[in-house]
Structure 1
Amino acid sequence: MKKIGLIPKLIAAIILGILIGAFTPEFIVKVLATFNSIFGNFLGFIIPLIILGFIVSGIADLGGNAGKLLGVTTAFAYVSTLIAGLFAYIVATNIFPKFIKATSVVGDAVNPEEKLLKGFFTIEMDPIMTVMSALVFAFLLGLGIAATKSESLHKISVEFQRIVEKTISNVIIPLLPFHIMGIFANMTHAGEVGKILQVFWKVFLIVLVMHLLIIVLQFTIAGTISKKNIFQMLKNQVSGYLTAIGTQSSAATIPVNLRCAEKNGVSKGIREFVVPLCATIHLSGSTITLTSCAIAVMMINNISFTLPQMMGFIAMLGITMVAAPGVPGGAVMAALGILKTNLNFTEAQLALMIALYITQDSFGTACNVSGDNAIAVLVDHIYHKDKKEKTL
């Protein structure tokens, strides 16, 4: 089973869930609903810890490399993330309503309190702090470690991040297929799964097209400013793009992406600084996927939303997902907190988000790492331009 990728497992889970919901007794569905209730509560408990694990060490690491280069790279990465999120919002709000009709969706069909079966029992797991408290504490601690250069606290934050990553990779990710299977079994039993699946594949195709368009835009801007051949840079990026699809990890793609940056003419010092850094902080592809999936889930449930609300969500994504792309599925795990607080998602809606996101995670990661090299070209151009001006 370990040799089977996460995406095939999730696809199998969806199919099995539909079959179980359609052909098995209600008792079986309630057993799965019990597991979903416990697992959902565990996710709620772990969300603040995920935020602490990712953000504290991420900010501490960034703060240790203070300087103009860090500021420029971080600014490019964050602006790129915001633009990607706004682009996704514009596309989703204009195209999704064409195939997600309010009349074809029954209110809060995926809300377990309304339509889905409840489990036999539940186990309460109250989080040790709220999501907002975790965010504030993470920033305070991360910036404090960077300012004081405390090696002991930095080591603790790194070790805690490893614990969180282990929890995600060894507990949450392996159990996700069962969680998704239970959700789809329950939705099938409630008679709503057909409407959900009609939306899934269309959203997937639109998100994939948006990924490719944003990559072209990023390299067009980088190539125009640096006066480099845009098509050649895109060609050079293909190996990094395909590697990211296979690994589902920005961090695991760094070695290949460094070679892509070298082919694009990025100097050694710049590429060895920018590419690993952006693998942590640049999230244009993940932001497109999460924004689009969130809008799809809200439209499925006939939930209204506003541009300011979504821009707040997008702005927070660029912060809460810091360091998360190193873990397959990490971005959506880190985003669960703001999905609950900013968009008021229920546990079932969070499960739908996880299913929607992870089936597209490879392509989001590939978009992230491709944009990393576009940023590397820009930073390299600015660095050498400044160096030349100082020499003169």
Structure 2
Amino acid sequence: MSKKQGNFLKHYGSILLLLAGLIIGSVLGIFFGAKVELIKPLGDIFINLLFTVVVPLVFFAIASAIANVERGENFGKLITIMFLVFIGTELLAASLSLISAWWFPIHAELADKKIILESIEKKTIGDQITQLLTASDFFELLSRKSMLALIIFSILTGFGVLQSGDKGKPFKDFLNSGNEVLKNILAIIMKIAPLGLGAYFAVQVGTIGPKLFGTYRDAMLLYHGVCLVYFVIFFSLYAFLAGGFTAVKLYWQNNIVPSATAIGTCSSIATIPANLEAAKKMGIPEHIRNLVIPLGAPLHKDGSAISAVIKIATVFAMFHRPLAGVDVIVIALGISVVCSIVEGGIPNGGYIAELLVISVYGFPPEALPAVMIIGTLVDPVATVLNATGDTVVAMLIAKIIKPAKYVKVIG
């Protein structure tokens, strides 16, 4: 084997194995259909391992990032810019989706399948916000369902270390050490990614695939068309704004594993480890990537913003209501941003968003199954945009915070 071939396998061997696993899984799903559920436990084991490492990894990554903030570093500026970029890209994604829905109207009829709403636990807005942002006991922070509460606690921990000065140095060293250990654990788990994600792909293709061109054909075609344009063109534009054509090339070279992990797991949270590794290869400073990537998973979801508008357009078509008017448009854009923030970053986490769409516009309960089905079918592609969008906005944020330094790094 030549030296050139050896270097190629060294840098791309894991990616080739992952792609091979996905291709084999897709073929199995096409030929065996629902029977491939027999190998679903292989995918579940891999996903469960990812989820077990995600919670401590997020804690150590965020807490250590804040604890290591350089003296004079304007942390408030970083947080402000980050949220402005998050909201800006979500609104842009929703606007593109809305314009596309006007150009290519959705034709849909009410589905016959209904859902019993009485079985759904109803909570006040205050209770939902409290549950979203906090946990009633420390052990509840250890669940991926409490990601926002964990992130808030991690931020507080990092600030606590900063305020402690020299007395907090041993704890700071512990956070740095824990961050390194968790990243190595992740590297070990990712060794079985081709097998685990391949099994997951097989099940998705074998079970969900045949439904893609059924009752919701127009909505699905429109959604995937908008996502493709946004994924290829707009993500490339964001990368270009961050660092020119060099940054565009750097982004796409390192976006394969995060994209495959996102579409295979349907979870932005499970993609955090792959995104952190990709962001490192993209030259994004550590204190920026360790904040933007974990925070972006639950708070920045361009794919969910697009799907929220598509759900709205579909329900409006079903009830023969025009998708027009300033109030309708403003509410649609507002819902898209809210949905992007409140969704949990876990598989099928859009349930809150779907209830929000129905309740805000005053549609009857019969509309709920439609948005639930659409939410299920678009989940894999939505997750790709949700997850991989975090790395490209991290590039933008790095450029805004320290433009000269970031351009020099990627150059």
TM-score class normalised by the smaller sequence: 0.5 to 0.7
Post-superposition Cα deviations, 1:208-261, rounded to whole Å, max 9, x if no partner, equal 221122123133133234335214422321221111000100010011111221
Post-superposition Cα deviations, 1:346-382, rounded to whole Å, max 9, x if no partner, equal 3331111111111110100101112111111011112
Gaps of 5+ in 2: 1-24, 35-61, 67-74, 149-210, 407-411
Find the counterpart in structure 1 of residue 222 from structure 2: 206
Distance 1:88 1:124, change over 3 A: closer
- Residues 97 and 309, structure 2, Cα contact 8 Å, conserved in 1: yes
The code of the aligned residue for 2:308 comes to L
Is 1:221 aligned with 2:238?
yes
Gaps of 5+ in 1: 13-60, 111-115, 146-151, 166-193
CA–CA distance in 1 between the matches of 2:117 and 2:357?
A: 22
1:289 Cα deviation after fit: 1.6
1:326-337 mapped onto 2 (5 Å cutoff)? 326-330=345-349, 332-337=350-355
Corresponding pairs, count: 277
- Residues 284 and 368, structure 1, Cα contact 8 Å, conserved in 2: yes
Find the counterpart in structure 2 of residue 349 from structure 1: 367
* Secondary structure, counterpart of 1:327 in structure 2: coil
The code of the aligned residue for 1:335 comes to A
The code of the aligned residue for 1:223 comes to F
The code of the aligned residue for 2:395 comes to V
1:301 Cα deviation after fit: 2.5
1:280 Cα deviation after fit: 1.3
Distance 1:317 1:348, change over 3 A: same
Is 1:310 aligned with 2:326?
no
CA–CA distance in 1 between the matches of 2:390 and 2:254?
A: 13
TM-score (norm 2): 0.57
1:93-112 mapped onto 2 (5 Å cutoff)? 93-97=102-106, 100=107, 105=109, 109-110=110-111
Find the counterpart in structure 1 of residue 37 from structure 2: none
* Secondary structure, counterpart of 2:254 in structure 1: helix
1:326 Cα deviation after fit: 2.1
The code of the aligned residue for 1:79 comes to G
Distance 1:197 1:219, change over 3 A: closer
The code of the aligned residue for 1:318 comes to V
Post-superposition Cα deviations, 1:269-299, rounded to whole Å, max 9, x if no partner, equal 2111111111111111111122112212321
Is 1:85 aligned with 2:94?
yes
1:154 Cα deviation after fit: 7.8
1:82-231 mapped onto 2 (5 Å cutoff)? 82-97=91-106, 100=107, 105=109, 109-110=110-111, 124=118, 129-130=123-124, 132=125, 138=130, 142=133, 155=138, 158=141, 162=145, 200-215=216-231, 216-229=233-246, 230-231=248-249
1:314 Cα deviation after fit: 2.8
1:343 Cα deviation after fit: 2.0
Post-superposition Cα deviations, 1:194-221, rounded to whole Å, max 9, x if no partner, equal 9x96552332232122112212313313
- Residues 313 and 338, structure 1, Cα contact 8 Å, conserved in 2: no
Is 1:319 aligned with 2:338?
yes
The code of the aligned residue for 2:220 comes to F
